Amino acid sequence: MTSRRRAPSANGPKTPARQILPDSPPPQQSPLTSPEELKITVSSSKWLKVLSLSSLLLLPYAYLLFFHLKIDAEIKRSILINAALSFAGFLFTLRLIPVASRYVIRRNLFGFDINKKGTPQGKIKVPESLGIVVGIVFLVVAILFQHFNFTSDSLWLVEYNAALASICFMILLGFVDDVLDVPWRVKLVLPFIAALPLLMAYAGHTTVVIPKPLIPYVGLEVLDLGWIYKLYMVLLTVFCTNSINIHAGINGLEVGQTVVIASAILIHNVMQIGAATDNSENQQAHAFSIYLVQPLLATSLALLSYNWYPSSVFVGDTYTYFAGMTMAVVGILGHYSETLIIFFIPQVLNFILSLPQLAKIIPCPRHRLPSFDPQTGLLTGTWDGTLVNFSLKFCGSMSEQSLCIFLLALQAIACGFCFLLRWLLAGWPKHFQIEYMKFSKDDEVVASSISPNT
C-alpha cells in the first residue's frame, strides 16, 4: 500500500523507530519523483541470482519429468503445453512490470523500503502492488490452457473454473487491501470470501487417508470428515494467504518463499503421477495441480527478478494473497493439503511466533521488521515475534540479502523434510500407491465418474 495513504491506527499502535508514518511529509530529496523518470530494469547480477535459484529448484523437477519417472504420454503433453504457455507468461510479466510500475507510481501507489531507512535508497518511491501484473498474466495463461486440455464435458472443468474464480476474487480483494489498507481483522476474513466459489463448486470427497503407521491406532484406513472437511478447506485458505503475507518485509522474501514452495509442489505432483500405475483420479488431481502451479512459478520468477534485493518493485498484498490462495486451492483439489502444510513449516513457525501480537496480547506495530543500521548496512533482530527477527537473534546481525537467502534455504529444508517424512510415513512410493488404490475402490462413484481425458 502507498506510504501516504495508510491509516495510522489501522493495524495497532506504532513503534516510532522503525516505520514510515503515513502522514509524515514526503522525503526532501526523492531521487525518483516523477513516473517518467522511473526506469525499472533487471541488473545482470540479479539475473544471475534468479537464474541460479530457478535452476536449482527446477532441475530436479525436469529430471523426474523427463528421465526418471514413467509419465503417461497424454499427461506429459498437457504438462509441456502448460509449461510453454507459462514461459510466455514469464516473458509477458517481465515486459509488463516496468510499464505497470509507471502507472502505479502515477496513482501514488508506492512504498518506502523500510530496511534501507537512513540511506539514499530508503528515500526512493518503490512502486507497490505489482502482484496485480502477476495475477492477471497468471489468469490469462490458466484460462488459455483450458483450450488445450479440457473438453466441455470434462468434470475437472467445473473445479478448474471454481479454482480460477477463487483466485481471481482473491486478487481483487488483495488489490482492494493495497489501495484501501484495510485493518488487520478485515484482512483475516478476506480469504473466507474469496474461497466461496471453490467451496460451492467442491464436489470431491471429504475423506482423508490415515498414514500407515497410525492405522492400528485409529482403526480406519480412510476417515470421512463430512462438513468438517469443508471448514478445514476454508481455514486452509485463510492460513495460506495470511501466513505468506506476514512472513514478509525483506526484499525478495514474499516471492522467494512462493517460488521455493511452488517448486516443491511440482516435484511432489510429478512424483505422485509417476507412482500411480493407471490414469487414475489421483494422477488427474496431481496433473490439475501442475497446470496451476507452473504458471504461478513462471510469473513469480519474473516478479522476483525485479523484487530481489535491492527491490525495484514491491509485490503488495495483491501478490501475497494471490500466491497463498493458489497454493491452497491446488492443495485442496489435488488432495495433498497435509503435505502442503508441511511445506509451510516456516510460515507455521512465523504464525506461532506472531500469535501474541496478532491476538493483541502484546502491542502489534504496523510493521514488525528488524532494525536497520545505515552505518553498517546490517539488520538486527527486534522483539517483534517473527521468524525474520528470530533468525537474526539466533544467527546475529546480517545484510538483508543474506537474511533472505537464509530464510529461503530454511524454506527449502522444510520442503526436503516433508519429502523425507512422507517417505517414512507412507513408505512412498510403493505403500502409498497401494493405499491410494484401496481408497479409490471405496470411493467408486468419484473415481469412476472422472473421465481419463479430463
Using CB under 6 A, list all residues that contact ligand UD1: 1, 20, 111-115, 128, 245-246, 248-251, 311, 314, 317, 354, 367-369
**Residue with Cβ nearer ligand UD1 (178 or 281):** 178
Q: Are 134 and 313 in contact (CB under 8 A)?
A: no
Nearest distance, CB of residue 47 and Mg ion, angstroms: 26
311 binds, among Mg ion, ligand UD1, none (CB under 5 to 8 A by kind): ligand UD1
Closest approach, Cβ 218 to Mg ion, in A, equals: 39
**Number of residue whose CB is nearest ligand UD1:** 111
> Is the CB of 164 or the CB of 248 nearer to ligand UD1?
248
Burial class (CB in 10 A: 0-12, 13-18, 19+), 448: exposed
Q: Report the C-alpha gap between 31 and 33 in whole angstroms.
A: 6
Least distance CB 95 / Mg ion (angstroms):
25
Q: Is the CB of 248 or the CB of 267 nearer to Mg ion?
A: 248
Tell me the residue length of the chain.
454
Quick check: 177 binds Mg ion (CB under 5 A)?
no
Cβ neighbours of residue 120 closer than 8 Å, sequence gap 6 or more: 31
Binding at 64: pick from Mg ion, ligand UD1, none (beta carbon under 5-8 Å per type): none
Contact between residue 256 and residue 206 where contact means Cβ atoms under 8 Å apart: no
CB of 451 to ligand UD1, least distance (A): 42
**φ, ψ at 9 (rounded to 5°):** -95, 5
The interface partner of residue 368, options being ligand UD1, Mg ion, none and the CB cut-off 5 to 8 Å by kind, is ligand UD1
- Burial class from Cβ neighbours inside 10 Å (0-12, 13-18, 19+) for residue 16 reads exposed
In the complex, least distance from residue 22 CB atom to Mg ion, rounded to whole angstroms: 15
Contact 131, 170 (CB under 8 A): no
CB closer to ligand UD1, 250 vs 262:
250
> Interface with Mg ion by CB under 5 A: which range of 61-69, 261-269, 313-321, 387-395?
313-321
Do residues 41 and 242 lie in contact, with contact meaning Cβ atoms separated by under 8 Å?
no
- Please state the closest distance from residue 119 (CB atom) to ligand UD1, in A: 12
Question: How many Cα atoms sit within 13 Å of 287 on the Cβ side?
Answer: 29
With CB under 5 A as the contact rule, the residue among 93, 149, 237, 245 that binds Mg ion is: 245
Question: Cα(98)–Cα(130) distance, rounded to whole angstroms?
Answer: 9
317 lies in the site for Mg ion, by CB under 5 A: yes
Q: Is 258 in the site for Mg ion (CB under 5 A)?
A: no
Q: 3-state class of 9 per DSSP?
A: coil
363 vs 452 by CB, closer to ligand UD1: 363
Closer of 1 and 297 to ligand UD1 (Cβ): 1
* Nearer Cβ to ligand UD1 (311/391): 311
242 or 263: CB nearest Mg ion:
242
> Residue 249's binding partner, choosing from Mg ion, ligand UD1, none, with beta-carbon cut-off 5 to 8 A by kind?
ligand UD1
226, burial (CB in 10 Å: exposed 0-12, middle 13-18, buried 19+) = exposed
State the Cα–Cα distance between residues 232 and 229, nearest whole angstrom: 5
- The reply to whether omega before 183 is within 30° of 0 (cis) is no
